[in-house]
Amino acid sequence: MKDLTRVPAAEIAAWLRSRQLRAADVLEAALERIAAREPALHAWAFLDPERARHQAQALDAGPVRGPLHGLPLGVKDLMDTADMPTAYGSSIYAGHRPAWDAAVVASARAAGAIVVGKTVTTEFATFAPAATVNPHDFEHTPGGSSSGSAAAVADGMVPLAFGTQTVGSIIRPASFCGVVGYKPTFGTLSRAGVKLLSESLDTVGAIARTVDDAALMVGALCGRDELVDLARAERPWVGLCRTHDWRETRPEVATAMDAAARGLAAAGARVIQVDLPADFAPLGDAHGDILGYEIARNLGFERAHHNGRLSSRLRELLDAGAQVTAARYDRARELAHLARAALPGVFDACHVLLAPSTTGEAPVGLESTGNPVMNRVWTLLHVPCVTVPVATGPSGLPVGLQVIGRSGDDARTLAVARWIHERLGAG
């Protein structure tokens, strides 16, 4: 028997559906790994092994529930759960018990997933770090805000976990931890029951071991068969895109991009250089204005009534957001709208773009979750993004690149990401 803590979720799911494997056995392997590693990793905000065991027993005794039947799942603690506390990464909500599950959690349970517990998020999914460490080196950040989800999947604790992204909170931690992160097209998955930061930006997605696994999870939750069973990509056209924020990257990113260009061309892909329009240069600032304006209002209650329990970093973010005028907000939204309308032209000569997932490997220290600058524009543009590990940096930590597709073209974006990962994958 293979080590179930390292087998892809799609492979385990097939065994579970054919009854070659019991959900209880898959779960026990996950729980043993968690028990051994959690004291050092701090990936979990809440665990309920006995409840998970009862779920596994019920699944083994009944019919196959769906595509995620028997798969252990981590739920980011930004998402409401009726049977587990949800604190949103803040002491303000310690012990908080929602009345119902977030829509995506309910869908995951209906598809047969076993919710093992709640993975650590940074404070309200913003920038103040939590206790989670990078499983590759405990002295380095795992990224954020989906810190616990990325660390738990990378360490073999669970094969699948939820992430959310408002700036770079799926792609960045997945890249830092050397796993696959998938931010779907904006609006693909419901945000009902997920703590709202920005109605214009918040996106629910998946962190997994393989591209197939991430596609399976999201496809099962939104009823898209083309994601559950991805088509094969054939010699894709790939546009290397360094973006207007390239100056922020470290040397290992240039090395990874250059190696990817050579490797993909040798494997049969058509590789070209793609530059974003000059009009896209202000999009990073536009993202900041939209985020600031919306988060200051969506966390208005916490700011008004629990300001002293917010981190200084979050207070500064909310104070700055409160200074964004309605006129400035409207200009930023108009700029985003125009850029989304112009974006299809960027794909005229390629199927997908390939861009840096982060500014480099995970930085040393736990005082920051890293710089999300390489993610904000793609989040603002509402396009699907898939990060895959392709290299290692000077400290021996993973370096990822993200595959970016047209809005709504998730199936092809994932298929090309799988093609790239199979040929370049470092994890």
Residues designated as active site? 76, 145, 169
CA torsion sign, 82 to 84 to 90 to 92?
Answer: positive
> Rounded distance, CA 68 to CA 343, Å?
34
Task: Specify the DSSP element, H or E, that contains 389.
Answer: strand 385-392
> Rounded distance, CA 136 to CA 395, Å?
10
The amino acid that residue 279 corresponds to is: D
CB 184 within 8 A of CB 410: yes
**DSSP class of 395:** T
DSSP string, 14-75: HHHHTTSS-HHHHHHHHHHHHHHHHHHH--EEEE-HHHHHHHHHHHHHS---STTTT-EEEE
61: how many CB neighbours lie within 10 A of its CB?
8
Dihedral (Cα; 56, 58, 59, 65), 10-degree rounding: -130
Bridge partners of 203? 165
Q: Are β-strands 203-208 and 160-165 bridged in parallel, bridged antiparallel, or unpaired?
A: antiparallel
Our CA angle for 21, 26, 27, nearest 5°, is 140
Q: What is the 3-state secondary structure (H, E, C) of 147-203?
A: HHHHHHHHCCCCCEEEEEECCCCCHHHHHHHCCEEEECCCCCCCCCCECCCCCCCCE
> Rounded distance, CA 149 to CA 209, Å?
12
The amino acid that residue 111 corresponds to is: A
